[in-house]
Structure formats: structure tokens, C-alpha cells
Amino acid sequence: MRIAVLSDIHGNRQAFQAVLEEVDAERVDEVWCLGDVVGYGADPDACCELARGSCDLCLVGNHDLAVRGDIPIDEFSRGAAVAAEWTREVIDPDHLEWLRGLEPQLLDREVGLYHASPRDPVWEYVLSTLLADLCLDVQHHRVCLIGHSHVALSFRRQEGESATGEVRSADSELRLEDGQWLVNPGSVGQPRDGDARAAWLVLDTGAWTATYRRTPYDIAGAASAIRAARLPESLAERLEYGQ
């Protein structure tokens, strides 16, 4: 099966639409989203509508949970908190109800699916080999997909060895036939690895490969929408730098 794996859309309609156009050209069998459909961006309803219409499964992320009211907003940074409060005020009740039906992990597929990590599906940022080792110790699947960190990267562990990992650039391909893996597609709506293009990947569970993709999109339009919504300026400025 060929699957387009997306994560951390964060209300960025421009990025999400651009990625979905490229997904169509990939002729994938399914589209999976690892959570945070809403968050920092100015188009939560448009992104919920696109996710509901295009994704075969969708997890809930910590920003989605904050908008649902399941996580206190004071646990977020100022920019994230302002965006969550604004999203609560403007989101369509039908989309809010849809978000309430999502879970932060799914374990009934050939690979494990987590918004954040196998140890903490909501909050843990897996950005080091030490944390990767701890997650690989407890995960139930040989290969797991994670989001949350906004960085396209992967961690691998062979039997008897410690985990190794690296940030992944566009078009790099992983061979997943052996070993244990944690694979992060990066962020559609707010990449933080220095590449401003929307990040995602194609997972092939028949060939056991994962191929990283980067998609250019209308960054200026997404930033203008954030400013028009009177959200913090930093949320608009960071899009240009992929930070």
C-alpha cells in the first residue's frame, strides 16, 4: 500500500492545498494525517474541511486538543495560546465536533501511528537518539510514524545497537525492511528544519520504503491571512524561514 503521510497542518490552508495537489499526482492508496490540523494558522475551518474530505485517517494533536478544551491553554507558548483561543472563537461547531472524535494514536495498522511519540502520544518531542531509544523500547510496531516536532527526520535501531537518526531532506528515501524505525514526515503548515516548503512523505508498506517530499506553496498568502486575523506577527514571519 502507498500512503501519503502528513502532519502538523496548523491551519495553513495554502500549504495543505498545495500538498494535496501533489498527493493526487502520487496515486497513493490512502492519506494519513498525524494530527494538529488546526493551530498557528488562520484557516482552521478550511483545513478541517480538507482533512475530512481527503484523509482516510486523522489523529488529534496537542493544538487540536487545546481547541477542544482537553488541554489547558496556559501550557502553550504565548503565540500558540493566542492562536488556540482565537481558533476556539472562530471554528465551526461541526468541525469542532469532528475534532472531538479523534485520538492521538492508532495501533490497528501495519505501522504504529502517534501524534507525538509511543511513550507520550500528545506531548513528547522526539528529537534525540536518547529519546528515540526510549520510544523504541516501548513501541508495539517495528515501524512507527510520529509528528509533533515539525522536523522531517528518522531514527533507526538495529538489534543490539543504539538508535541513530538524522534530519531528512527532500527526495531522500528510507529502506525500512529491517530494524526498528521512528519516522517523522515533518510539518505541512509550519516546518522547523530550515526548509520553508511544506513537508510530507510517501510510505510504501509493500516495498517498505519511505520517500520524503517538500512542496512549495504560497507562503506570502498564508502569512497575510495570519496578519489579517490579527494573530501574533511571529507566526507569520517564521513561515518564510522554516523555523
Distance in angstroms (rounded) separating the CA atoms of residues 80 and 62: 11
How do 143-145 and 112-114 pair as beta strands?
parallel
Question: Are 204 and 194 a contacting pair, CB within 8 Å?
Answer: no
Question: Could you tell me the residue ranges of all domains in the chain?
Answer: 2-241
> What pLDDT does residue 149 have?
97
Q: In what order do the strands lie in the sheet with 105-106?
A: 105-106, 112-114, 143-145, 180-185, 152-157, 164-167
CA distance 199 to 15: 9
| 101 contacts 155 by C-beta, under 8 angstroms | no
The answer to whether 168 and 203 are in contact (CB under 8 A) is no
Quick one: CATH architecture of 2-241? 4-Layer Sandwich (3.60)
* Per-residue pLDDT in tens (0 to 9) along the chain, 243 residues: 999 999 999 999 999 999 999 999 999 999 999 999 999 999 999 999 999 999 999 999 999 999 999 999 988 999 999 999 999 999 999 999 999 999 999 999 999 999 999 999 999 999 999 999 999 999 999 999 999 999 999 999 999 899 999 999 999 999 999 999 999 999 999 999 999 999 999 999 999 999 999 999 999 999 999 999 999 999 999 999 998
pLDDT of residue 75: 83
pLDDT at 74: 86
Q: Note whether 180 and 165 are within 8 A (CB).
A: no
- SS3 per-residue string spanning 202-236: EEECCCCEEEEEEECCCHHHHHHHHHHCCCCHHHH
